[in-house]
Chain A
Amino acid sequence: MQVEYLSAFNVVLGVLTRFWPVWIALALVMGASFGYKKKLGLYGQLFDSGVGIVGVGICLFWLFTAIFASTVAPFDPLAQVPIMKDALPGAIDPQSGLAYLFGGDKLARDVFSRMVYGSQIVLIIAPAATGFALMVGITLGLPAGYYGGKIDTVLSFLANLVLAFPVILLFYLLVTPGIMDTPIPYAMAGLFFLFPIIFFSVLFWTRYKNRPDRLYILLGLTLVVGGWIYAGLVFDADPFKIIHIDPNQLNIFVAVVFASSPGVFRIVRGLVMDIKTRDYVAAAQTRGESPWYIMLWEILPNARGPLIVDACLRIGYTTILLGTLGYFGLGLAPESPDWGTAIKDASRLLRSFIHPALPPTIALMSFVLGLNLLADSLREQSMKD
């Protein structure tokens, strides 16, 4: 049977039309943000510079691609159509009549659909892992910077210990199949996922200590929601079966949080040491506020600018880390459509076929570039104030 091909122009047109839900969503959000940019604070100011618009645009593009992946992708990411093995871009599948827009890989899967579904994995794990790393880093960095002394020495030593590990060695040690048989990943997950619950409990306790009506609602909400997610993630014991994480993904998640939280810790510690000399901190101390109130409600809000910028950069860095894990075949399933695994598979066959390699590399690069541009323009805007 002869495989027919689309022309290059039709391939480009086909790709653009496949992304139709993304374009509509992008137009709506960008249009709305542009219209109301005066009222949107820091986010609105991003639309003042070209770099900011491009950064927001790229990030939103991948966000919507991940959300609408099942509509955008014409094929299942794992489906194999034997005749399309190593097919060149634009080959038409004779059965369904749909085209393999970016061609097929060595296992006859659609490269385009895999790239689209790969965005889902990256956009779930990278921001979530960054969020947890921020929680861990902030909860430990605040007391280290504020109290100094012994706490600081011990915590800084531990942070430097992790930072002295080359990332790749850390991953080889922590993300091996063998380690899943030991309790280590679950113990680490249990420890790391405790931090958000502690953080929010202390946050509400210090603020609403004297207003029990508010306090009990917020504290109860934190413990119920936090405990529910905690049970689902660490023990896989969600009573409603909504929150579920694959043991493999849990392992990756824990390793990524472990590798990036010391960086957050160092930044938070530095910021706190700078901010605690300000007058408003002295004023709060004179008022007799508790140390944790000062850390969480006086210092932390004033450190938010650099932290937001760092979070943006860190999501990009986490994406690169996930790609590294995929590239070395660690943790993620071998047939997983994530970008790193796809790059690994394709780079081994570069001598014969180059088309499966380009979509995932360009996807990963553009997403990280978008985040970096976003961070850069956020930094510029926050420096203007």
Chain B
Amino acid sequence: MLSFVIRRLGTMALTMLCLTMIVFFLVNLGPNLKKLAISQTEMHTSAEQLEAWLVNHGYRQNFFIRYGQWLGVMPKQPVTDPATGKPAQRFSFCNDPVVPTFSGILQGDFGCSTKFKTTVASKLFPALSATGILMLCVLAVMVPVSLLIGILAGMREGSRTDRTLSVASIASTATPEYVSGVIFTVIFASWLGVLNGSAASASQGITFYNFTLPVMTLAIYGIGYIARMTRASMVEVMTQQYIRTARLKGLSFGSVVIKHALRNALIAPFTVIMLQFPWLLTGVVIVEVMFRYQGFGYTLVEAAGNNDIDLLLGCSLVSVFIVLITQLISDVGYAFLNPRIRVQ
């Protein structure tokens, strides 16, 4: 077990290294750097001045040297102030070093956000905690509801309840966030007026009024999928011999479902719920932009839209980490829950 986890962690590190390198390559393409230089200098700067800005801020160094600097295996060089010729900070708003230092991801320095004019860490981590709250609320709604729907549908396969709930869950998987978000806003904010169509005020304080719509919108897409998986697992368990034995012993249908079927039927949905995190991540971006909630997704869109290199790299690192760690947890957890599985 331990060697399995260690091997997986090794693959994880390799994957993260490859992915950040790809992201690093893509954000440093010529046109993207030009966009960055234009946004960071004053209006109507000539092409030579843009180039000079890029050279001066170290964006024209060798690709691998810069990647190494970001990673923390190469020393970060201070820029030379063109007026005085002395070494100066690269970006004054980030306390960049004036002497060459190793300061990268490995040292815990996420770099400098050019869009928000602050360090990446001070922007990214508050955003992550805001998204964490949203995620918690979504999971608190999504998991019980979808398990309940799945169990009710899978209890008696082919019954009218099963048909209705199955079609309802198919419908919910056919509704992406940007569709359900619009429909819910129309119904609950425009027509009924009971909920707020914007979650911008949720950063100050979360209330039922401003937070229900984003949570509902995010939960609805996942509910259908988890419910269908739970139903399939429940249907399979209900055909097992031990369920028939329990029924023949004279136990009531309800107690058979709760005591015998449920525990075995909930193993598969656990994996599915864990693997839902990457999906939730995309959903979070859509929902946060739609409802103007200042979280991780909103930050990612701002970073990508403005080609904020360090912030975007930080965002991708975090999201890739979440995807991979949930995969690992789902594999290890599955082995713990199901004693018939042995990991090698």
Give chain A's interface residues, CB within 8 Å of chain B: 51, 157, 160-161, 163-169, 172-174, 176-179, 181-182, 184, 316, 320, 323-324, 327-328, 340, 343-344, 346-347, 350-351, 354, 357-358, 361, 364-365, 368-369, 371-373, 376
Besides A163-B323, A172-B301, A351-B190, 9 new A-B residue pairs in contact (Cβ under 8 A), listed by A number:
A164-B324, A166-B323, A168-B286, A176-B31, A178-B30, A343-B178, A347-B178, A350-B185, A358-B182
* Minimal beta-carbon separation of B315 from chain A (angstroms): 7
Known contacts A173-B23, A328-B301, A369-B170; is-contact A178 B35 (Cβ 8 Å):
yes
Q: What are 29 sample pairs from A and B whose C-beta atoms fall under 8 A apart? A: A51-B167, A157-B11, A160-B15, A164-B15, A165-B320, A168-B282, A168-B297, A169-B319, A172-B300, A172-B301, A172-B304, A176-B31, A176-B32, A178-B31, A184-B29, A323-B179, A343-B182, A344-B178, A350-B182, A350-B189, A350-B197, A351-B190, A361-B179, A361-B182, A361-B183, A364-B179, A368-B174, A373-B167, A373-B170
Interface magnitude class on chain B: 35 or more
Chain A residue at minimal CB-CB distance from B185: A350
B31 & A182 in contact (Cβ 8 Å cutoff): yes
What chain A residues lie within 8 Å of B197 (beta carbons)? Answer: 350-351
* A323, B286: Cα distance in complex, Å: 11
Q: How far is the CA of A182 from the CA of B320 in the complex (A)?
A: 26
- B281 interfacial by beta-carbon distance below 8 Å: yes
- The distance from the CB of A311 to the nearest CB of chain B, in whole angstroms, is 16
A320 to B179, CA, bound (A): 10
Interface core residue of A165, A174, A358 (most chain B CB under 10 Å): A165
B31 CB contacts on chain A under 8 angstroms = 176-179, 181-182
Listed from nearest, the 9 A-B pairs whose CB atoms lie closest are: A178-B31, A172-B304, A369-B174, A368-B174, A173-B26, A320-B176, A361-B179, A327-B178, A168-B285
CA distance A182 to B35 in the complex (A): 14
- Pairwise interchain contact A166-B319, C-beta atoms closer than 8 A: yes
Min CB gap B229→A, angstroms: 14
Binary flags per residue of B274-301, CB closer than 8 Å to A gives 1, else 0: 0000100110011001100000010011
Tell me the residues in window 16-60 of chain B with beta carbons closer than 8 Å to chain A beta carbons.
18-19, 23, 26-27, 29-32, 34-35
Closest CB-CB distance, A161 to chain B, in whole Å? Answer: 6
Residues of B within 8 A of A351 (CB): 190, 197
Tell me whether B186 is interfacial, beta carbon within 8 Å.
Answer: yes
Counting CB contacts under 8 A, is B171 at the interface?
A: yes
CA distance A316 to B221 in the complex (A): 14
Judge whether B72 is part of the interface by a CB distance below 8 angstroms: no
Residue among B18, B27, B29, B297 having the largest count of chain A Cβ atoms under 10 Å: B29
Minimum Cβ distance to chain B for residue A350 (Å): 5
**Residues on the B chain within 8 Å of A361, using CB:** 179, 182-183
List residues 305-329 of chain B with CB under 8 A from any CB of chain A.
Answer: 305, 315-316, 319-320, 323-324
Within 8 A of A (CB), among B54-108: none
Check if B282 sits within 8 Å of A167, measured CB to CB. yes
Q: How far is the CA of A161 from the CA of B282 in the complex (A)?
A: 17
Given A173-B27, A178-B31, A181-B30, A165-B19 contact (CB < 8 Å): yes
Distance to closest chain B CB from A351 (angstroms): 7
B214 CB within 8 Å of chain A = no
Given A164-B324, A165-B19, A174-B26, also A354-B178 (CB < 8 A) = no
Tell me which residues from 127 to 176 in chain B have a Cβ below 8 Å from any Cβ of chain A.
166-167, 170-171, 173-176
B23 contact set on A, CB distance < 8 A: 169, 173
Nearest-neighbor residue (CB-CB) of A176 within chain B: B32
Q: Which of A164, A177, A328 contacts B320 (CB 8 A)?
A: A164
